[in-house]
Amino acid sequence: MKPQVFFRFAKEDRGLAGPRRPVPLALARAIATLLPEQRHRVALLHQEEAAAACAAVEYLHPEELLRYQGFSLPKRRREFLAGRLCAKLALTELLPEQALAPRQLFIASDPSGRPLPPGDEAGLPPGLHLSITHGGEFAGAIAANRPCGIDLQPLGDNLLRVRERYCLPADEVLLSQTLTHLGERERLALLWTAKEAAKKALSHRRMYGFLELSLVTLRPLPDSCFLLGLAVAESGAQPQGAEALAVATLVDDCALALSFATEE
Ligand SMILES: CC(C)(COP(=O)(O)OP(=O)(O)OC[C@H]1O[C@@H](n2cnc3c(N)ncnc32)[C@H](O)[C@@H]1OP(=O)(O)O)[C@@H](O)C(=O)NCCC(=O)NCCS
């Protein structure tokens, strides 16, 4: 089994080595085993450290910079910058032969907010997919050759307070029967983050609501990783097989999930 290799960005981006956080190896191994044909790269950064290391004007495309400057809240600026940096890292690692400077990569958003990988204009091949998240102190992104999603979710009290907004009764049964060694908050954090990542992985169809996705399979994997299968729960109908797979784990007081659509 080939563990995921993490490259440095490019020489212009040495500043990112400090803020960069390793993606848990167990997560990368789980995906390599489950989806051996899958090509993807993931990058995680500490938001504040990334903002201190990288000036927006040097790393953002002029169009991205305009958006960045339009945000009035420093928090939103920081998370936007860190998310874009992660996406650029992941893209350049997926396509190391492209050797584009970060400012040349324009990651637009569609009208729903979904990040769009640069295409022809940057000379990148078609068929790439991107997803971005920011949660707690961190930001993350995944680039892949199939629809994908990433999510980071801090282990806050809101997970317990608003559980009925994202956890179906059948989800709860499967979680408590399978993850007997975890506390309730941890179980719910894994479900939340897997559903958010799956929503993003399926967002090329449309953005599903949390309660439209039902947990159909749940399996512990080695090293405290979990495989969750999510299906679209059409109203009244029994969900069929998983339409998105998510691999999730707990790291640094956050749940982290990567998800892939099972069909393109
Ligand atoms: C979009 C959504 C999945 C984001 O999740 P979140 O946990 O709030 O936030 P995260 O930090 O994990 O993710 C934020 C990133 O998600 C991405 N995102 C936003 N909208 C998206 C969409 N429709 N599809 C896929 N990804 C999306 C963006 O890259 C965003 O970061 P950016 O604005 O810096 O580029 C969530 O807010 C949601 O489901 N919203 C519903 C919105 C909706 O239904 N829109 C349709 C009406 S147009």
**Per-residue pLDDT tens over the stretch 36-84:** 888 899 999 999 999 999 899 999 999 999 999 999 999 999 999 999 9
Residue 4 counted as domain residue: no
* Same domain? 123 vs 162: no
* Same domain? 172 vs 195: yes
Residue 77 counted as domain residue: yes
Contact residues for 76 (Cβ-Cβ < 8 A; gap 6+): none
Grade residue 215 by pLDDT with cuts at 50, 70 and 90: very high
- Domain extent, residue 232, equals 154-261
Q: Choose the final residue of a domain: 146, 176, 194.
A: 146
| pLDDT tens profile 96-115 | 777 678 888 999 999 999 99
* Same domain? 139 vs 23: yes
| pLDDT tens profile 230-245 | 999 876 666 678 899 9
* Same domain? 188 vs 81: no
Residue 6 counted as domain residue: no
> Interior CA angle at 258 toward 256 and 264, to 5°?
160
- List ligand 1's pocket residues with C-beta within 6 A: 80, 83, 109, 112-115, 132-135, 151, 196, 199-200, 203, 207
Residue whose CA lies nearest to ligand 1 atom number 21: 114
Q: How many structural domains compose the chain?
A: 2
Residue 5 counted as domain residue: no
Tokens 């350049």 — which residue?
A: 92
Structure token digits, residue 246: 């998510």
* Same domain? 161 vs 87: no
State the pTM of this model.
0.93
- CATH assignment of the domain containing 35: 3.90.470.20
Cα dist from 136 to 48, 75, 256, whole Å: 11, 11, 11
Residue 130 counted as domain residue: yes
Residue 8 counted as domain residue: no
Structure token digits, residue 228: 């969750």
